[in-house]
Amino acid sequence: MKRTSIIPVLMCGGSGTRLWPTLRKNYPKQFIVKDKNNQTLFQSTVNQFKSKYFCKPVIITNHDYRFIVSEQLKEINVVPEVIILEPSPKNTLATSIAACLYIQNKMKKGTAIISPTDHQIDKNKFTNDLINNIDLIKHDINLVGISPKSPNTSLGYIQCKTSNSSLYTIKKFIEKPNLKLATKLMRTKNTFWNTGNFVVNVQKLLEIIQTLEPKTLEAVNRSFLSSINDLDYLRLAEKDWNKSKNISLDYSVIEKCNNLAMINYSGNWFDLGTWKSFYQANKKDKQKNVIFGNSIVSQTKNSLVISDEHIKTVTHNLDDVAVITERDVVFVTKLSTSESLAPLVQKIMLKSKDIALNRTTVHKPWGSYTNIFSHGNYKIKLLIINPFEELSYQSHKYRSEHWVVVNGTASIILDDKKIELKKNMSIFIPAKSKHQLMNNKKNRLEIIEVQIGSYLGEDDIVRYKDKYSR
């Protein structure tokens, strides 16, 4: 394989519950967990492939996250090759097919590295290990493995044949073993964790998928051929996409192939799939605590304490606990046994679906809003409108709104009348009135919005004009 033609395929459409409540469906870990350089896992992964050996990244994500992706790319000054939007989550087989079809259609052929964006990794070491081995690779599909650091029961393992270099021939896969087997595997020579990174010949991978998963390949191909350009995105067609199988590339294809190779990555790598692994990946104080945010700890050891900046979290006389404080919920658990939170989140959904799935801050193409407080027939929000952005021209049937400008200058259209409000000024927006909020200045606009009405759902909206075509 040629090192000058490596195309990063970055998958960032998944969501999970294992780091609840900080990470929820509307804001998964790749967009919120930050590294020592204050970059999110997604941004760090993108920067990992910013060198002369890599092309512009092909990014594929869920359509719900498209504006978060664009905003975070803008923050690190990266212009991707394309941002492909999945109509719905379908796991990594369909995602990989869509990206490979784009590469085949646009570039005819090439070598790609298919990479998740929700892991913490030593990006310089990872890139060096990859580049130093790329010219030696003779296989069409190559995995990236790392020597296990602990008997982890949440990861997949790769067993390889003996090798005299950092390239190995794969013998077999072992998925998420029990603790006894994981302990044995950690001590077994030529056994590695599977990092979920694949270096592939794009054309050959599609040929293999044609043999093993022809129906999903056909469905994704039809979805790709019917895709449309929507602003800065390539939107896959929903009808055919939904006919594809919901399964990982590993299970459906990789583990059924023969003649696979593995690159031995020798740096640090953390899946960050549990609060325990998050604790293990971060620097500890003298009492072996990991502390983030607005926290005070006393006589606390071997613990993880994370607090929202607006709430003070205080711990005393604790050992081996995780305390996670968000604006709307406080979560406390034993750190050493915090492996799976899925059953807990399902239980919470029965009583409070919104808390289970949604963070209080929601990102929009124009900025964001944060739910501050709600009770009965009223709700209070903080709106952040980015410079030179605007909300749609809209109306609401069941609620009125009061806007107070706390920072910046608001340009408003209310029933075709143009109004400008400066800091410390306010306006009343009656129910059913047509209105639009705009920020025509170079500084961000902050608005406190008080909604009052018989129904306060986000779906109470009629859009008459919208630059984002929603």
401-419: per-residue pLDDT in tens? 999 999 999 999 999 999 9
Which of 58, 55, 63, 112 has its CA nearest to residue 86?
A: 63
Q: How far apart are CA 66 and CA 83, in angstroms?
A: 8
* pLDDT at 4 (0 to 100): 55
Q: Cα dist. 24→85, 186, 247, 249, 342 in Å?
A: 20, 32, 21, 24, 11
Q: How far apart are CA 45 and CA 67, in angstroms?
A: 18
33-50: per-residue pLDDT in tens? 777 678 899 999 999 998
Query: What is the CATH number that goes with domain 3-270?
Result: 3.90.550.10
Give pLDDT < 70 ranges for the chain.
Answer: 1-4, 15-17, 26, 36, 136
For the chain, the domains span: 3-270, 275-337, 361-465
The amino acid at residue 434 is K
Superfamily covering domain 361-465: Jelly Rolls (2.60.120.10)
* pLDDT at 124 (0 to 100): 84
* pLDDT at 164 (0 to 100): 74
Kind plus residue range of the DSSP H or E element containing 192 = strand 191-201
* pLDDT at 20 (0 to 100): 87
* pLDDT at 14 (0 to 100): 73
* pLDDT at 216 (0 to 100): 97
| Token pair of 414 as six digits | 């209310």
